[in-house]
Structure 1
C-alpha cells in the first residue's frame, strides 16, 4: 500500500518543479514510510511513497518498462499478478521483478486502456507513455483505493492519493463547491466525483481517464459495473457450499504477503467469516485484533472473543474510553474534507492496535451491502410493500400531510417514529431511500443553510446524486436497487474512505475479501430472498456459515461501530460545541443560518431532542474548514 502523486502538463513540455513535487509527495509520507521516489522529465513528474508488502528487495517506484518508454506509480495490490505475469511472458514480455507493479506496465503495452479489465484487486495508478505523450489514470472497481485530480488554470494536471497532496500545490484553486456542502450535510461525506473544492475531483470507482497532451480534457470512462445478472440456483444447499468456497478463495488470494498478516475481528458476521476462512487456510494461528468500549451498548468484544477462542487466534484487544474524543481535530486533518462518520474514531483505534502486530489486515467491509445486512434494508422493503400498493399521486398528498403534522419522536423506538415513515411513503423508492439515510433531511438543510448558500446552489439538491445512480442501475429490483445505490455512494464515500485514511495513517494495509469482484459478480445475481428473507438480513451468508461460526455471533442483532455522541454534546464537548458552532468558525463562513444552529444546540443540550448526528456533521465541517483558505462564492 502506497501513495502516488504527480504533475502532467496538458499543453506544453514544462518540467515540473522538483521541490514542489517532493513536497506534494511528502505530504502523504504516512501512506508509505519505507521508501520514496521521483521521476521528472519534460512535461511530467511522477512521485511515490512506498509501504513494502511484496518483493521487498525490488519493486521501487516510479517503475519503468524495459525500453524506458513507460513509467508507472501505483497504490494497491493486484492479487492475480503472478497469473498475469505468466500470460504476459508467454506473449513476449520480459519481467525484471517479482512484484505486481511491473505487471501494470506490460498489461498496458499489451491491452492499452483495457488493461484494467485484467486486474483483480484494489488499485489507483498513473501510467505515463512517452511515445504517445499520454497519462492514464485508473481506480479499482469499488474505489478501495483513492485518487484525486485537478486541472490548474496553467494547464497542468495534478493528481494524488489524498486531497492533501493536491493542497500542497500553491496554485490549487480553493473555491468552495456549494453542491458538495449540500451533499455533505445530507450524507455525511462528499460523494464521487465531487470534492469540497469546485475544481478538484475524485476518480469514480471502476473508471479511468486517458489524458493526451494537446487534446481536450477527457471524461471519466467506466470500465466495470456491478452486473446483477441472475445466478442459476440448483438448490439452497448448493448455494451455501458455493458461497463458502467463493469466499474462501477470495480470502486466500488476499493472504499473500512478505510481512506480518492479520485480521480485524469485531464480533460481527462479516469479520468473523473472514477470520474463519483464514483459520481454515493456514496452519499457524491468525492474528486478530478488536476494539472494545467501556459502554456496554457499543461493546462487541465478547462475541469477538468467542470467534477467537474457536479458532485459537492470537487475539489482541483494547478498550477505548467512551470519552475518546481527543481525535476530533486529528480526524479533520486526516480526511482533508468534511467527513462525519463518528465511527472513524474506533476505526482509527483498531488500525492503531493492528499496526502494533501486523502490516496487512483483512476486513469484513462490504458484507452488509452484498447481503442486505443493514436494518434500513428491512425498513425500506417494508415501506416498499405499502408504496407498491398505492400510486404516488395518492401517497404524496396523504402521507405528505401526515409527515408534516405528526410530531418528531427521536426518543422512541423506530417502529413508533411514524413521522419518518410517513415522509418516506410520500416519496418514490429512490428518494425514500435517500431520506432514510440522510443525516439532515431536506427540511433541516433548508433551515440550516443561509440565503447566500441557497443562491449559490441554484436549486441543486443531493437528490440528483441518487437519481443519477438509479438511472444507471442495471437492476430495477427494489432490494437490489438500494444495494446498488449504497455501493455507489455509502460504501465508497463513507466506509472505504474511513478505512483507507484510518489505516494509512498508521501505514497499515487493509484488504477487503467481500469486495473481490468475481465474488461480487456472483453475489449480485443471487435471488434477493437469499439475501433478505422476511426480517432476516444476510440469510444465505448466515446459513452458509452455521458450521463455521457460533450461533449467537450469526443471529444476534447488529450492533454497529458507534460512539456516544449525544452524551458527549451534553457533557465533555458541551462548551466546545457552543464555541465552535455559535461563537466562532461557522458564522464567519456565511454558509449557515445561525439562528437555526442555536436552536439545534439548545434543544440537544436541554434534552428536548437528539440532534447529535447533525451537530457532529457541523462540528466536523467546522474543524475541517477552520484552518483552510476556502473561497466562498464567485
Structure 2
C-alpha cells in the first residue's frame, strides 16, 4: 500500500520541479514509510511513497517498463497478478521483478485501457506512456483506493492519494466549494466527483482518465459498472454452493503477502465470515483484532472473543474509553475535508491495534451493500411493496399529511418512529431512499443555512445526483436501486474513505475480500428473496455460513461500529457544541444561522432532543474549516 503524486502539463512541456513532487510525497509519509521516489520528464513528473507488502526489495517506484517507454506509480494490490504475469510472458513480455507493479506496465503495453478489466484488485495508479505522450489515471471498480486531482490556472493537472498533497502545491486554488458544504451536510462526507475545495475532484470509482499534452483535460470514462438487471434462476442449494466458492476465492486471494497478515474481528456476520474462511485456508492461527467500548450497550468484544475462540485465532482486544473524543483533531488531519462518520474513531483505534501485530488486515466491509444487510435496505424493500399497493396520487396527500402531523420521537422505540416512514412513503422510491440515507434532511439543512448561503447554493440539492443515479441504475426493483446507490455512492464516499484514511494513518494495509468484483456481480444477480427474507437481510450469505458460524452470531441484531457521541455532546463536548454557534471557522463563513445552531445545541445538552448527528457534523465541519484556514493562509 502506498501513496502517489504527480504533475502533468496539458499546455506545453514545461519542466516539473522534483522538489515540488517530493513535498507532495512528504506530507503522506504515513502511507509509505518504506521508500520514496520521484521521476520527471518534460511536461510530467511522478512521485511515490511505498509501504512494502509484496516483493519487499524488488519493486521500487516510480517504475519503468522493461523497454523504458512507460513509467508507473501505483497504490494498491493486483491480486491476480501472478496469473496475468504468466499470460503476458506467453505473449512476449519480460519481467525483472516479482511484484504486481510491473504487471500493470506490461498489461498497458499489451492491451491499453482494456487492461483494467483484467485486474482483480484495489488500485489507483498513474502511468505515463512516453511514446504516446499520454498520462493514464485509473481507479479500481469500487473505489477502495483514492485519487484526488485538480487543474491549475496554467493548465497543469496535479493529483495525489490525499487532498493534503494538492494543498502542498502553491498554485492550487484555495476556495471552499459551497456545493460541497451542501453535500457534506446531507451525507456526512463529500462524495466522489467533488471535494471541499472548488476545482478539486476525486476520480470516481470504476473510472479512468487519459490526459495528453497540448489538449484540454478530458472527462472521466467509466470502465466498470454492476448490473442488477438479471436474476439467477438456480436453486438455493446451488446458490449457496456458488456463493461459498466465491467467498473462499475472494478471501484466499487476499491472503498473499510477504509481511504479517491478520483480520479485523467485530463478532458480526461479515468479519466473522472472513475470519472463518481465513482459518480454513491457513496452516497457522489467524491473527485477529477487536475494539470495544467501556459502555456495555456499544461493546461487541464478547462476540468477537467467542468467534476468535471458535477458530483458535491469536486474538488481541482493547477497550476504548467512552471519552475517547481526544481523537477529533487527529481525525480532521487524516481526512483533510469534513467527514462526520463517527465510527472513524473506533476504526482508527482498531487499525492502531492491528498495526502492532500485522502489516496487512482483512476487513468485512462490503457485504451489507452487496447482499442487502442494512436495515434501511430492508425498510426500503418493504416501503416499495407498500408503494405498489397505494396509487401515487393518493400516497402524497395521505402520507405527506401524516408525516407533517406525526411527532419526531427520537426517544421512542424504533417501530414507533413513524414520522420518517410517512415522509418517505409520500415520495417516490428514489427520493424516499435519498431521505433515508441523508444525515440531515433538506428542510433541516435549509433551516441551518443563512440567506447568503442559500443564494450561493441556488437550485442545487445534494439528493439530486443520488436520485438520478438510482433512476438510471441497471436495475429491476427498488431494492436493486437502493443497493446500487449504496455500492456506487455511499460505499466509496463513506465506508472506504474511512477505512483508507484510518488504516493508512498508521501504515496498515486494509483489504476487503467481500468487495471482490466477481462476488459483487454474483450478488447483484440474486433473486430478492435470497437477499431479503422477511425482516432479515443478507439471507443467502447467512444461510451459507451456517456451516461455519452459530445462529446467535448470524442472526443477532446488527450493532454497527458506533460511538457514544450523544453522551459526549451532553458532557465533555458540550462546550464545543455551544462554541459552534458563537465563534470559530464555521461562524466566520457567514453561511450558517448561529441562532438555530445555538438552539439545537442547548436542546440537546438539556436532553430535550437528540441532535447529536447534526451537531457532530457541524463540529467536524468547524474543525475541518479551521484546519483548512491554516493551510490556505500558509
Relative to the length of structure 2, the TM-score reads 0.98
Aligned to 1:599: 599
Q: In the alignment, is the contact (CA less than 8 A) between 2:152 and 2:172 conserved in 1?
A: yes
Q: In the alignment, is the contact (CA less than 8 A) between 2:167 and 2:631 conserved in 1?
A: no
Superimposed CA distance per residue, residues 481-500 of structure 1 (whole angstroms, 9 cap, x where no aligned partner): 10000111111110000000
Q: In the alignment, is the contact (CA less than 8 A) between 2:344 and 2:498 conserved in 1?
A: yes
Q: CA deviation at 1:229?
A: 4.9
Residue 180 in structure 1 maps to residue 180 in structure 2: yes
Q: CA deviation at 1:391?
A: 2.4
Within-5 A mapping of 1:137-176: 137-176=137-176
Q: CA deviation at 1:231?
A: 4.8
Q: CA deviation at 1:380?
A: 1.4
Three-state SS of the structure 2 residue aligned to 1:601 is helix
Superimposed CA distance per residue, residues 36-83 of structure 1 (whole angstroms, 9 cap, x where no aligned partner): 000012111100000000001210000001221100000000001011
Three-state SS of the structure 1 residue aligned to 2:53 is coil
Separation in 1, partners of 2:627, 2:285: 46
The gaps in structure 1 that reach 5 residues or longer are none
Q: CA deviation at 1:88?
A: 0.7
Aligned to 1:370: 370
Q: CA deviation at 1:580?
A: 3.4
Aligned to 2:11: 11
Separation in 1, partners of 2:342, 2:581: 17
Within-5 A mapping of 1:573-588: 573-588=573-588
Q: In the alignment, is the contact (CA less than 8 A) between 1:147 and 1:162 conserved in 2?
A: yes
Three-state SS of the structure 2 residue aligned to 1:39 is strand
Aligned to 1:462: 462
How many residues are matched?
Answer: 632
Q: CA deviation at 1:465?
A: 1.6
Three-state SS of the structure 1 residue aligned to 2:326 is coil
Q: In the alignment, is the contact (CA less than 8 A) between 2:578 and 2:602 conserved in 1?
A: no
Q: CA deviation at 1:587?
A: 1.3
Three-state SS of the structure 1 residue aligned to 2:109 is helix
Separation in 1, partners of 2:35, 2:369: 36
Q: In the alignment, is the contact (CA less than 8 A) between 1:306 and 1:550 conserved in 2?
A: no
Aligned to 1:442: 442
Residue 491 in structure 1 maps to residue 512 in structure 2: no
Structure 1 runs, 4 residues or longer, greater than 6 Å off:
none
Aligned to 1:361: 361
Residue 322 in structure 1 maps to residue 322 in structure 2: yes
Three-state SS of the structure 1 residue aligned to 2:316 is strand
Within-5 A mapping of 1:71-86: 71-86=71-86
Q: In the alignment, is the contact (CA less than 8 A) between 2:36 and 2:50 conserved in 1?
A: yes
Aligned to 1:479: 479
Aligned to 1:400: 400
Within-5 A mapping of 1:222-261: 222-261=222-261
Q: In the alignment, is the contact (CA less than 8 A) between 1:129 and 1:135 conserved in 2?
A: yes
Aligned to 2:426: 426
Q: CA deviation at 1:631?
A: 12
Q: CA deviation at 1:309?
A: 0.6
Within-5 A mapping of 1:45-84: 45-84=45-84
Residue 127 in structure 1 maps to residue 112 in structure 2: no
Superimposed CA distance per residue, residues 102-135 of structure 1 (whole angstroms, 9 cap, x where no aligned partner): 0111111111111111100000000001112110
Three-state SS of the structure 2 residue aligned to 1:4 is strand
Superimposed CA distance per residue, residues 323-377 of structure 1 (whole angstroms, 9 cap, x where no aligned partner): 1100000101100001000000000000000000000000000011111111111
Residue 347 in structure 1 maps to residue 347 in structure 2: yes
Q: In the alignment, is the contact (CA less than 8 A) between 2:430 and 2:471 conserved in 1?
A: no
Three-state SS of the structure 2 residue aligned to 1:526 is coil
C-alpha change, 1:211 and 1:376, in structure 2 (3 Å) is: same
Aligned to 1:271: 271
Structure 1 stretch 457-466 or stretch 265-274: which is displaced more? 457-466
CA RMSD of aligned residues (A): 1.3
Aligned to 1:294: 294
Q: CA deviation at 1:630?
A: 9.2
